[in-house]
Structure 1
Amino acid sequence: MLSLLQRVFFYGLLISSLTAVGQPPSSVSALIQPFDNYRRHALQEKLFVHTDQAFYITGETMWFKVYYVDGTEHKPLDVSKVTYIELIDKDQKSVLQTKVPVSAGGGNGALFLPSSLRSGNYLMRAYTNWMKNSSPDFFFEKTLTIVNPFTPLGLPLLRETPDYDIQLFPEGGHLVQGLPGKVAFRIVDASGRGVPVRGWLLTAQNDTLARVSSHKFGIGNFTFTPSNTAGYRITLTDEKGHLVSRPLPTIEPQGYTMRLEESTASQVKITVNTNVEAASAVYLFAHTRNEIKAAELRPIQRETSFLIDKKTLGEGISHLTIFDANRKPVCERLYFKRPINPLTINLKSDLRQYASRTKVTLDASIQGANTQTKQAALSVSVYRLDSLAGSDSGSILSYLWMTSDLRGQIESPTYYLQPETPEVAQATDNLMLTHGWRRFRWDTILASAAPLQQPKQPFIPEHNGLLIQGTVTDPVSGTPVPNVITYLSTPGKPLRLYVSRSNAEGQVRFEMQDFYGAKNIIVQTNPQDSLLKLTVASPFSSSLSSTRLPDLSVRESQADQLLTRSVSMQVQGTYWGDQAIQYRYPQVDSSAFYGKPGESYLLDIYTRFPRMEEVLREYVLGVMPRKKQGHYRLYVPNAPYRTTFEEPSLVLMNGVPIFDMDKIIDFSPLKIKQIDVITNHYFIGPGVFPGVISFMSYKGDMAGFPISANALTLPYDGLQLQREFYSPRYETPKQIGSRLPDGRTLLYWNPELRTDAQGNVRTQFFTSDQPGTYVVDVNGLTTDGQAGSQRVLFEVKNTPK
């Protein structure tokens, strides 16, 4: 990210380059300044989720690690504190949801896969509250396969005619009559895999203009110059002779085209053509993940070209945009610069082959020429390979450098990051042509020459924990009601109360701290506002994903392997279930939200009275019950001023505000363990209260206290509790000879393995009774943003006990 001094120097270089073509320096700065202003205000977040594997059966637990980084430099980020994770079925319904706490070190969690899930492919997606301001295309997405072995697979019927999806992409975005252009095409089957094809480019009269063929993963390209604006189509045939045909995108009578080519080993050439008579100049603007890399203005009549030194472009995907003389974007193209020295993770197991129930020692070390630190956070999964479970559970390297900045699903993204060859280079360029991406709208950035005024975002970052959001509306008209004080309580321990005032849109926000696990929440207003309608919004995104889930590829011939895995899962649940379900509770402040009270009374040390009024009058010095117009009110002294508050105090029952003091007086004091009293003004959020009286039951629940009918009570899931991965140890003869069967196919999962200052780490685990080939799958990220992935294999052979 450029510093202010670097940015000023960069502007100077750009302005100097304009002098050669005689253009005013303000021309290019009119693009640079608003874009730079946008970049500084629009934080880009990225998430990557490493799952322990990509294939599951119901009854198993899915383990995952969340990596959270900034979208530009890929350094660990510490802004949002909550990640939302969903599992979405083919009908776009969210079947599982959870909220995971994250920090600069990431986060981790687990999802149990219930037997209610149907067999099929599911989409896992992850996002923060801030990311909901953008398109769901920016969320992390990953396809997972889940099979329910207790129900028929329900596989789709085979089609006589394949269901192919064909898309055509002109380079730069447009085909223009009379201008040379390149068109990329992509053809995939119902499972999302590329289909090898060959074919022809035809005119309306069926004249062949060019022969075409796919190169890799069903992607190819061809070039031609359209002589008219209609009638062109492409016809393709697969290896079985099935024919498909599609018309070319609209051919415009006037416009601009762009063509990118490798000019030399160190330069990229961008050629711009136009048939617009009034065209006088064009801009080239290049940025890598929102960091400005080049900006240049050149005159144009029919054609002009730009040369960019590859060294000026950042590693990964760069956007090259062409603007006309009025600074209107007319063409855009992606270019991929392969990372020169990505992080290398070296893995080595002490043996290549192991017996059952033996120790495996795994050593890992990191190397990276560009990293300034040897310390990295690693996530490690060790699972059995078979025809059901593939070896690819996701690579953080390919995701951060490629997939996260491209639109749509990428088949085998790791292929493009291997050492460059002519074949890999061509496949990579085809990918850039077919997967356009942009995290903003140019018309928003360039709407005015004045400094960009950022629009108000409806979703804010969750800096301090989970946000619960709701609305206050008029129940008759449905219009939002502003300036209403609302209270949210979570009966239980620790004692918590949250207060919010509705804004102009009737919205209220409660910033929850230490809110873990499933709890009941109670939301209410003051008595004078009790007729207003309160609703609590779901924190999960309602936007639908544009990703097309492939059909289930599991076949009936794999039934034996499914049965074996299902039996192993049931064995584990039967014999190891208690040990496998272990949770780590976070360390939180167990004191009440108001801290140490001025007065505190443990009622068990006093003589018990049958009525609450007697308890308050006899023992609780800081509470004064009074009766006005037939109803009780409770007051506390304003201790700092040695007076009594004129207004009733805030009264709580296990953190829930109570406004009817008659219910307090009538409630049995035998159910109350403690009474705390604050004898001064108490401030919480927008609320100011003349003292606080807090009643607490023995179990921290409402103990049968009647809750107001106007209060909104509903169950709400807080942040996920951390579940411990359980792996048995076989270190003694007794443990090795145990008759308890060990059917684990997932031997080891560790989401928080960290290297030392020298970049090394060692971990150990034990094999199970399941023979086969096992893969060690590792993803990692250093503190300065270098990502890497690695896999190694080993064998497990059964040995007689």
Structure 2
Amino acid sequence: MPTPYPVPHRFRWYALAGLGLLGLGTAALRPAAGGPDEVVRRLVQGVQLYYAAARPEKAYLHLDQDGYAAGETVWYGAYLVDGEQHRPDSLSQVLHVELVSAQRRVVLRQALHLAGGRAPGALALPDTLAPGTYQLRAYTDWMRNAGPDYFYQRRLHVWPAASPAAEGPGAPDARADERATAAAARTEARRLGAPPDVQFFPEGGSLVAGLESTIAFKAVDYAGRGLEVTGQVLDAQDQPVATFRSAHLGMGTFQLTPQPGQRYRAVVAPPEGKPLVVPLPAARASGYALRVTPEPNAYRVSIRQRGAPGGQVLLLGQVRGAIGYLGQGTVAGQDEFMVRIPRAKFAAGIVHFTVFDGAGVPQAERLAFAPEAAPLRVALAPDRPAYGPREAVRLRVAVTDAAGQPVGATHLSVAVADAAGAPTAAETIATSLLLTSDLVGYVEDPGYYFENPTAATAGALDALLLTQGWRRFAWQDVLAGQAPPRPFGAAQSLGLRGQVLTPGGKPVPNARLVLLRGQPRRLVLPATTDDQGRFLFNGLGGCADTARFTLQARTARGGANVVLRLDAGPPVAAGALPPLPRLPTPAEAGALRGAQAQVAADRRFRRDTAKTILLGNVSVRGRKAVVMDSRRIYNPLNATVLRLDDPAFMAVSNLTLFQVLQGRIPGVNVTGAEPNMVVQIRGPSSIQGSNRPLFVLDGLPVDQDVLSFFPARDVETIEVLKGAEAAIYGTRGAGGVIAVYTRRGAPSYQPSMELAPGILAVYSNGYACPRQFYQPRYDRPQPAAAPADPRRRTLYWNPDVRTNAAGEAELTFYTADAAGRFQLVAQGVSVGGQPVLGRGALQVAPRP
């Protein structure tokens, strides 16, 4: 039991188990009287019932690198845990991963099938992806109930595929790079000309006249990056009453005792530009003040009031719905009530302190942080301190608890990547689960608060929590017994979601729908809309399966005059993303050069899970050099190519792919009309007697149905292979091959196209297929002419490492030709919900 400070008023601490409140009921408690015990029951049960209904989820992506060049692959391990205890394997089994541009457009999208809350992922960045800062986000359908603020989100730097000095086929246009860089610099200059955003936050929520308060402040630029500022606070008579200076990333605190009837303003001096004047929040004539002072092993909490009736107050402290402290006391007159609460009462994470008056009405609140009391330890031990090129590395991974006991059955992902330019304040699974996932908005350099725990970092973390509010729920909803809205269910499979509306935009309840898919597996699914006209089809799509469906909707009476609106996904946050930063250090510049060299190597080497294929350089005399595209397995010079980015085809935006193809390539016959077009390539038939071609979309064989109604505006080229040129596809290509390549960085399909009133052609992507990271073996002598090992950035990536009963795992991989220092990083989560993080290093010597 916590011991109150020696003040004349008694503070009562409730043993929650003694009140019988640890079990969850099915309805909110309705006390017959308004006594303190009934208020306590209502508060505790309200929190428990709310979390039981909300069942929040959290996602995290462990990336092999922190920045990439266009053309590289983002290798990642996806984690999904429950939002209360952080245990893996939550409600949902489908995780959506998206890359969002600075223009707030989703440029890449994947869906992962989770098993035990885990899934490996690989996001191939197009080599034509515009350089800049992107937002990488991950979410489940269930997380959409809480809103995009609680999605997993991080900023991702994407650098140009090659430096302007690069030479050879496929090198970017140096002048185009210069123009893009200059345009970004001009945009940055205009944005930097805008005044910073400076806000002030009284501790506890409000200023009360006559009560000294801690006021926190935060100064950021247009993209949410901290700005170091200084300033002073003036009263209405222009007399200075306080001064302040930011301590870290534009944040800091100062003390102020507001006087009755006074108004205050701050004069803030930013790093550049003119000072700006910001009014402070007005002081209330009456109310409560809450002060929380973190100590090494406890929180010292102070409650005061002025002008309020006074009397009994309740102090509640909870972490993600788990109540660690609930006490009752009396605050009256000029008295200050203080209590010291041990940190051990709270789970690791953000502690939410709230003061309620005797009627159970919230009066003040404050966030604090509880670190892990006994964090897990991860040892990464290579068998040698240094290695030469192409030598075997045996890496021992050991997970133990704080007492040194092994922790088995822990899932980890392990990356061995170039240490040059690695950020020192990067996010980790610990910073995500314990801090940023419970805060709204962008948190800059979250690793700073965890990497080196000192008094300075603890103070900076406290300032962050004073300025960046926590809003998992609103107390008025909890106290009223109101369950959180849940329009989205926990998806167990891929689905198709939407709404049936009248032409005037009103929902059509009880509308009848039929979802139809033809070959290869005929599928007919019926459904009926709910009272809001919403519908959901589940169980669609497989691995890398792009399927075409026909969706028909009719009113309950059979009317066809309806509008089908498919779910467009969650909105993209309106916040600005900054341009790429300048490279301030030689190490970071070296990392970029390594990334660009990796992309150049990938252009020469096509890697899959089994072998390396060397592609020769392709050029044609008198024609522009042909850029090799990893989506092709053939030489494009052997194909008849129809380019849809030529000026002659700029007016085809309303045509489908087959309509554009009709009559434009000799030997290709396109007859009939949508949706029953027949495409044939003249020539000898296959051994089955068919002269129907093989259709390929971005390197993946698909059925013709997938390309029906495919919009021409999303297509870069249509390439036709005949006879011997098509033999690379085996017997499947005996009737010829029609290969379609979408514009890089654009969606690979049109989500839907209206065929008739109430009928849509729908294109749906399946799950992203697991990809194997390229890991060659050098346990046998290599020929003298063996190709170079292209691994320069990420030497090893394994998203599925599991410790045995002894808490250990052993990994084996080979170094490449690149020399230097490599950083070892292991991240994961234990079965008990504790974040797991370990680091190490290994050195690779250059070839003698």
Verify the 8 A CA contact 1:168 1:184 in the aligned structure 2: yes
Verify the 8 A CA contact 2:21 2:41 in the aligned structure 1: no
Change (3 A) 1:422 1:525: closer
1:67 aligns with 79
2:584 corresponds to 1:552: no
2:446 corresponds to 1:374: no
1:746 aligns with 794
1:25 aligns with 37
Give the SS at the match of 2:432: helix
Q: CA deviation at 1:137?
A: 1.2
Amino acid of the residue matched to residue 487 of structure 1? V
Selected match of 1:120 from 96, 110, 132 = 132
Higher alpha-carbon deviation: 146-155 or 119-128: 146-155
Selected match of 1:232 from 239, 253, 264 = 264
Give the SS at the match of 1:428: helix
2:492 corresponds to 1:483: no
TM-score (norm 1): 0.76
2:774 corresponds to 1:726: yes
Q: For the residues of structure 1 that align with 2:292 and 2:593, how far apart are their CA atoms?
A: 53
Amino acid of the residue matched to residue 733 of structure 1? P
Q: For the residues of structure 1 that align with 2:326 and 2:216, how far apart are their CA atoms?
A: 27
Amino acid of the residue matched to residue 156 of structure 1? A
2:236 corresponds to 1:204: yes
Q: For the residues of structure 2 that align with 1:232 and 1:762, how far apart are their CA atoms?
A: 62
2:392 corresponds to 1:383: no
2:420 corresponds to 1:411: no
1:765 aligns with 813
Q: For the residues of structure 2 that align with 1:559 and 1:768, how far apart are their CA atoms?
A: 21
Q: CA deviation at 1:705?
A: 12
Q: For the residues of structure 2 that align with 1:141 and 1:705, how far apart are their CA atoms?
A: 35
Q: For the residues of structure 1 that align with 2:149 and 2:517, how far apart are their CA atoms?
A: 35
Verify the 8 A CA contact 1:472 1:535 in the aligned structure 2: yes
1:503 aligns with 530
Q: For the residues of structure 2 that align with 1:244 and 1:355, how far apart are their CA atoms?
A: 58
Question: What is the CA deviation profile of residues 190-220 of structure 1, one whole-angstrom value per residue up to 9, with x for unaligned ones?
Answer: 6654444443332233322223223333321
Q: CA deviation at 1:145?
A: 0.2
Q: For the residues of structure 1 that align with 2:538 and 2:222, how far apart are their CA atoms?
A: 44
Q: For the residues of structure 2 that align with 1:239 and 1:712, how far apart are their CA atoms?
A: 55
Q: For the residues of structure 1 that align with 2:94 and 2:512, how far apart are their CA atoms?
A: 26
Q: CA deviation at 1:289?
A: 0.8
Verify the 8 A CA contact 2:265 2:278 in the aligned structure 1: yes
Selected match of 1:146 from 158, 161, 168 = 158
Selected match of 1:97 from 109, 118, 138 = 109
Verify the 8 A CA contact 2:541 2:547 in the aligned structure 1: no
2:774 corresponds to 1:774: no
Q: For the residues of structure 1 that align with 2:348 and 2:408, how far apart are their CA atoms?
A: 21
1:9 aligns with 18
Q: For the residues of structure 1 that align with 2:353 and 2:230, how far apart are their CA atoms?
A: 30
Verify the 8 A CA contact 1:83 1:99 in the aligned structure 2: yes
Q: For the residues of structure 2 that align with 1:530 and 1:770, how far apart are their CA atoms?
A: 67
Q: For the residues of structure 2 that align with 1:180 and 1:386, how far apart are their CA atoms?
A: 48
2:148 corresponds to 1:136: yes
The 5-angstrom pairing of residues 599-638 of structure 1 reads none
Q: For the residues of structure 2 that align with 1:330 and 1:405, how far apart are their CA atoms?
A: 22
Selected match of 2:210 from 178, 198, 207 = 178
Change (3 A) 1:580 1:282: farther
2:252 aligns with 220
Q: For the residues of structure 2 that align with 1:759 and 1:331, how far apart are their CA atoms?
A: 45
Give the SS at the match of 1:131: helix
Change (3 A) 1:40 1:163: same
Q: For the residues of structure 1 that align with 2:833 and 2:488, how far apart are their CA atoms?
A: 26
Question: What is the CA deviation profile of residues 450-481 of structure 1, one whole-angstrom value per residue up to 9, with x for unaligned ones?
Answer: xx35355211111x312211222334x44332
Q: CA deviation at 1:756?
A: 1.1
Q: For the residues of structure 2 that align with 1:752 and 1:92, how far apart are their CA atoms?
A: 32
1:322 aligns with 355
Q: For the residues of structure 1 that align with 2:427 and 2:478, how far apart are their CA atoms?
A: 34
The 5-angstrom pairing of residues 574-589 of structure 1 reads 574-578=604-608
The 5-angstrom pairing of residues 445-484 of structure 1 reads 445-447=478-480, 452-454=481-483, 457-462=486-491, 464-475=492-503, 477-484=504-511
Verify the 8 A CA contact 2:376 2:401 in the aligned structure 1: yes
2:602 corresponds to 1:572: yes
Verify the 8 A CA contact 1:52 1:393 in the aligned structure 2: no
Aligned-pair Cα RMSD in Å? 3.5
Give the SS at the match of 1:471: strand
Q: For the residues of structure 1 that align with 2:764 and 2:144, how far apart are their CA atoms?
A: 20
Question: What is the CA deviation profile of residues 88-130 of structure 1, one whole-angstrom value per residue up to 9, with x for unaligned ones?
Answer: 2223222222211113241121111124432211111111101
Give the SS at the match of 2:427: coil
Change (3 A) 1:395 1:494: farther
2:291 corresponds to 1:251: no
Q: How many residues align?
A: 668
2:200 aligns with 168
2:454 corresponds to 1:427: no
Give the SS at the match of 2:799: strand
Selected match of 2:550 from 497, 513, 522 = 522
Q: CA deviation at 1:232?
A: 1.9
Question: What is the CA deviation profile of residues 668-717 of structure 1, one whole-angstrom value per residue up to 9, with x for unaligned ones?
Answer: xx999xxxxxxxxxxxxxxxxxxxxxxxxxx9877999998664212111
Give the SS at the match of 1:573: helix
Q: CA deviation at 1:783?
A: 1.2
Q: For the residues of structure 2 that align with 1:131 and 1:226, how far apart are their CA atoms?
A: 41
Q: For the residues of structure 2 that align with 1:415 and 1:244, how far apart are their CA atoms?
A: 29
Q: For the residues of structure 2 that align with 1:244 and 1:225, how far apart are their CA atoms?
A: 23
Q: For the residues of structure 1 that align with 2:604 and 2:411, how far apart are their CA atoms?
A: 34
**Higher alpha-carbon Rg:** 1
Verify the 8 A CA contact 2:293 2:301 in the aligned structure 1: yes
1:269 aligns with 300
Change (3 A) 1:36 1:579: closer
Selected match of 1:784 from 819, 832, 835 = 832
Selected match of 2:842 from 770, 794, 797 = 794
2:803 aligns with 755
Q: CA deviation at 1:283?
A: 2.1
1:305 aligns with 337
Verify the 8 A CA contact 2:317 2:353 in the aligned structure 1: yes
Q: For the residues of structure 1 that align with 2:810 and 2:320, how far apart are their CA atoms?
A: 35
Verify the 8 A CA contact 1:281 1:298 in the aligned structure 2: yes
Question: What is the CA deviation profile of residues 392-430 of structure 1, one whole-angstrom value per residue up to 9, with x for unaligned ones?
Answer: 653101211122122333333233335654333323322
Give the SS at the match of 1:67: strand
The 5-angstrom pairing of residues 78-93 of structure 1 reads 78-93=90-105
Q: CA deviation at 1:85?
A: 1.4
Question: What is the CA deviation profile of residues 207-256 of structure 1, one whole-angstrom value per residue up to 9, with x for unaligned ones?
Answer: 22223223333321111111145542333446789745432223333322
Q: CA deviation at 1:148?
A: 2.5
Give the SS at the match of 2:397: strand
Give the SS at the match of 2:266: strand
1:289 aligns with 320
Verify the 8 A CA contact 1:775 1:792 in the aligned structure 2: yes
Change (3 A) 1:279 1:764: same
Amino acid of the residue matched to residue 781 of structure 2? P
2:761 corresponds to 1:713: yes
Change (3 A) 1:715 1:236: same
Verify the 8 A CA contact 1:69 1:75 in the aligned structure 2: yes
Question: What is the CA deviation profile of residues 138-166 of structure 1, one whole-angstrom value per residue up to 9, with x for unaligned ones?
Answer: 11111110123433434424758685432
Amino acid of the residue matched to residue 763 of structure 1? L
Verify the 8 A CA contact 1:572 1:743 in the aligned structure 2: no
Give the SS at the match of 1:84: strand
Verify the 8 A CA contact 2:214 2:255 in the aligned structure 1: yes
Q: For the residues of structure 2 that align with 1:267 and 1:568, how far apart are their CA atoms?
A: 50
Amino acid of the residue matched to residue 200 of structure 2? L
Selected match of 1:46 from 32, 55, 58 = 58
Change (3 A) 1:300 1:580: farther
Q: For the residues of structure 2 that align with 1:343 and 1:535, how far apart are their CA atoms?
A: 51
The percent identity for this pair of structures is 30
